[in-house]
Structure 1
């Protein structure tokens, strides 16, 4: 079943509902462009890296986007953890997106997460099947940048 879903997502990516004019090394899906960072940085360094590429750490809007990202991450092993742009650094337990400071409406937490403490930033975690977990923001991990449809040039 995973292979069928993966092929469907690949087909949607290549022919999809949206065509975008993405920068080199960015992957298009449903009107957004994604860059899967192949270096390990802290949460803050990763956000800065994304900003330098006119992007931000990924903001996951719904299960369709989340499933696409998880399926793509499954093919990028051996990397285990991937930063997204979600944090509760300002108020413990109140997770907001760094790109627009809005509370998370959609989440995909693993059953044991978030577990609080000094873990204020959020990752896709391979050991949770790429469900979400919280982590210390200073940890060096891979990351996903996004240029959302409102920021990407839609060409179709």
Structure 2
């Protein structure tokens, strides 16, 4: 959900409020709500989250007001039985005070719109709702492979069932709020994944079709970026196979660890092709 203050529809001062209401959740002892949000701009107002019980909002269970920065941040809300003993809904509410006025220019004979309080946008994404306490939500997917490099700890899961790049992203995100397709940022990480694949018969078999990872040049041709963090990050390391990327058919925008005979050097393929894939949860 994004509430953008640019090009406001309101033609007078006042507050614009938008709400996103979840499906209804069944009673349980506890629930945990996690999501990503961004609030950016000098005119940013308020993001509220409510637990709506019996149709009533009550007080917010989370409130953020004002400019934060242009990055994505994770929020966590613990709901106890006072909220969850009955069926309830989660309500996201965002506000801004943007409006427009119009003026007439006698020199041009035209009306112009002037926007006010428009420098502020609020967005939420990837909402996770668990019917347990936040403390009991697993920190990483079961059966994953752990690797620590410096201050970064990653947990990798391999999926042998071939799917499109887009569906692979969705599957990874369902595993964990910190999960996405793997971003291979240096030779050591590439070697680690290759050794895992080569040491397992089933992974080696699946790898004959290659493994999708996160990189893509979907936004700008031949400018490959990692997009797992929510903001594009340029490649500082590449492992392209000879002649790759080559954008055959002018529709190859997604990165595949493609060549098992060359230690899974990279190639570009269509994002709609179906391949196995690797997810990475970063803690």
Assess same fold via TM > 0.5. yes
Distance in 2, matches of 1:128 and 1:136, equals: 21
Residue equivalent to 2:225: 96
Q: Report the Cα offset of residue 22 of structure 1.
A: 3.8
Question: Match of 1:72?
Answer: 196
- Please, which of 128, 145, 155 is the counterpart of residue 27 of structure 1? 145
Does the aligned pair in 2 maintain the 1:34–1:147 contact within 8 Å?
A: yes
Match of 2:180 among 56, 59, 79: 56
Provide the C-alpha distance between the structure 1 equivalents of 2:218 and 2:140, rounded to a whole number of angstroms: 31
Contact 2:164 2:275 in 1 (8 A): yes
Question: Who is 2:257 aligned against?
Answer: 124
Please state which structure has a larger fraction of its residues in strand.
2
In the TM superposition, what whole-angstrom CA distance separates every residue of 1:56-92 from its partner, at most 9, and x where no partner exists? 0001121111100111122322122100000001111
Deviation at 1:131, TM superposition (A): 0.6
Q: Does the alignment pair 1:136 with 2:270?
A: yes
Could you tell me the TM-score, scaled by structure 2's length? 0.44
* SS of equivalent residue, structure 1 residue 120: strand
Name the CA distance, whole Å, in 2 between partners of 1:47 and 1:128.
25
Structure of higher RCO (CA pairs closer than 8 Å, 6+ residues apart): 1
Measured in 2, the distance between the counterparts of 1:97 and 1:50 equals 15
Structure 1 length-normalised TM: 0.78
CA distance in 2, matches of 1:147, 1:114: 27
| Aligned match for 1:115, one of 212, 229, 246 | 246
Q: Offset at 1:39?
A: 1.4
Structure having the higher helix fraction is 1
Distance of aligned partners of 1:60 and 1:131 in 2 relative to their CA distance in 1, 3 Å threshold: same
Is the Cα–Cα contact under 8 Å of residues 43 and 137 in structure 1 kept in the other structure?
yes
Counterparts of 2:261 and 2:243, CA distance in 1: 12
Structure 2, unpaired ranges of 5+: 1-138
Q: Which ranges in structure 1 are unaligned for 5 or more consecutive residues?
A: 1-20
Count of residues in correspondence between the two structures: 129
Q: Helix, strand or coil for the counterpart of 1:84? A: strand
- The structure number with the bigger radius of gyration is 2
